[in-house]
Structure 1
Amino acid sequence: MNVDAISDIFRRVLENDDVRADSDFFVMGGDSLLATRVLSAVARSWGVELDFDDFMTAPTPDALAKKIASMA
């Protein structure tokens, strides 16, 4: 799983270029509504359907990439 691609999704959704692999989506200003946009982008890009609880337990690009890889 490409952490850079997940980071790009975070950057686009949060409109923040400072996202790194260990950046917490919610600390950087994300909320549940924006999280749904990330989850939709993940589903479109990798065909993996995650729910909000999955995202809450993996709120960084690195953690989310590992979660996606474990489900693929």
Structure 2
Amino acid sequence: MTTADVLAIFRTVLETEDIAASDDFFDLGGDSLLATRVLSALARAGGAELTMEDFLMAPTPELLAARAAGAAGAVVS
């Protein structure tokens, strides 16, 4: 999952193209309900199963992409 992928998801969910990689989702008007849509889209697109806590700790496209990349490569036992 790249930053560009996460940016595309943010833009779709927030219905705006005016988002940069370092923009905070919640500062852009996002809320917890919209965040669940982002998390669901990330799981469908890249297989990364992130939690709301992950999202709160990494609310920008660049930070969330890094978390998603780590989560997708993690081995779950």
**TM-score, normalising length from structure 2?**
0.89
Q: Which residue identity is paired with 1:30?
A: G
Map 1:3-22; keep pairs closer than 5 Å: 3-22=3-22
**Identical residues among aligned pairs (%):** 56
Task: Give, in whole Å, the separation in 1 of the partners of 2:29 and 2:57.
Answer: 17
User: 4+ residue stretches of structure 1 with deviation over 3 A?
Assistant: none
- Which segments of 5 or more consecutive residues in structure 2 lack a partner in the other structure? 73-77
Over the aligned positions, Cα root-mean-square deviation in angstroms equals 0.7
**TM-score, normalising length from structure 1?**
0.95
How far residue 2 of structure 1 moved from its aligned partner, in angstroms, is 1.3
Task: Give, in whole Å, the separation in 1 of the partners of 2:48 and 2:66.
Answer: 12
Aligned residues: 72
How far residue 16 of structure 1 moved from its aligned partner, in angstroms, is 1.3
- Which segments of 5 or more consecutive residues in structure 1 lack a partner in the other structure? none
Question: 1:26 — aligned with what?
Answer: 26
Task: Give, in whole Å, the separation in 2 of the partners of 1:29 and 1:16.
Answer: 11
